[in-house]
């Protein structure tokens, strides 16, 4: 059984819907070789990352940056993971009211330092909430779990 960890900040009904969609996609009934765990960033730490075979990160953009909660997760996890998680496959989604660029740059600079491997382009759900975001998030979850199960990462 492979292990997929989702670490996501979902502070509003819309962002909760996006997280639920990622989870539903990752737990697609056709995928039975992957155990999926979702944690809020403040509840997640380096031990959770070390136990995972792949990771999905989710955050809002707040004041041009990732959520403080996700930054705190990185602050606590960076050095304990640094020598041990190189090559970890990960994906990222961002919910941004109007931009998302600063968050993408900030997360990617940290994951580059960690030598984690982005296995798909970041999904930026930008602007007014759009129902299409839900399907995109579901697809992101399915692609990660299916890829992990198939051993393509």
Ligand X SMILES: Cc1cc2nc3c(=O)[nH]c(=O)nc-3n(C[C@H](O)[C@H](O)[C@H](O)COP(=O)(O)O)c2cc1C
Q: Which residues bind ligand X (CB under 6 A)?
A: 12, 14-15, 60-64, 95-100, 129
Crossing angle of helices 13-26 and 132-150, in 10° steps, is 30
Which position's Cβ is nearest ligand X?
97
CB of 5 to ligand X, least distance (A): 21
Q: What are phi and psi of 81, to 5 degrees?
A: -95, -20
Q: Judge whether 16 and 132 are in contact, CB under 8 Å.
A: no
Render 1-39 in DSSP notation, one character per residue: -EEEEEEE---SHHHHHHHHHHHHHHT-TT--SEEEEEE
Of residues 99 and 149, the one with the C-beta less far from ligand X = 99
Of residues 49 and 94, the one with the C-beta less far from ligand X = 94
CB of 80 to ligand X, least distance (A): 28
Of residues 2 and 95, the one with the C-beta less far from ligand X = 95
Of residues 63 and 121, the one with the C-beta less far from ligand X = 63
CB of 8 to ligand X, least distance (A): 12
CB of 132 to ligand X, least distance (A): 13
Q: What SS3 class is residue 120?
A: coil
Alpha carbon of residue 61 to chain centroid: 14
């Amino acid at each position: 059984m492979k292990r997929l960890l989702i670490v996501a900040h979902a502070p509003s009904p819309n962002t909760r819907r996006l997280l639920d969609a990622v989870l539903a996609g990752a737990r697609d009934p056709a995928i039975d070789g992957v155990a999926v765990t979702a944690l809020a960033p403040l509840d997640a730490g380096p031990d959770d990352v070390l136990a995972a075979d792949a990771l999905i990160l989710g955050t809002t953009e707040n004041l041009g940056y990732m959520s403080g909660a996700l930054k705190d997760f990185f602050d606590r996890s960076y050095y304990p993971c640094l020598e041990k998680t190189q090559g970890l496959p990960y994906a990222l989604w961002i919910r941004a009211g109007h931009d998302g660029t600063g968050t993408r740059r900030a997360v990617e600079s940290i994951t580059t330092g960690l030598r984690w491997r982005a296995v798909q382009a970041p999904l930026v759900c930008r602007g007014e909430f759009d129902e299409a975001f839900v399907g995109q998030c579901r697809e992101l979850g399915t692609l990660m779990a299916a890829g992990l199960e198939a051993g393509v990462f």
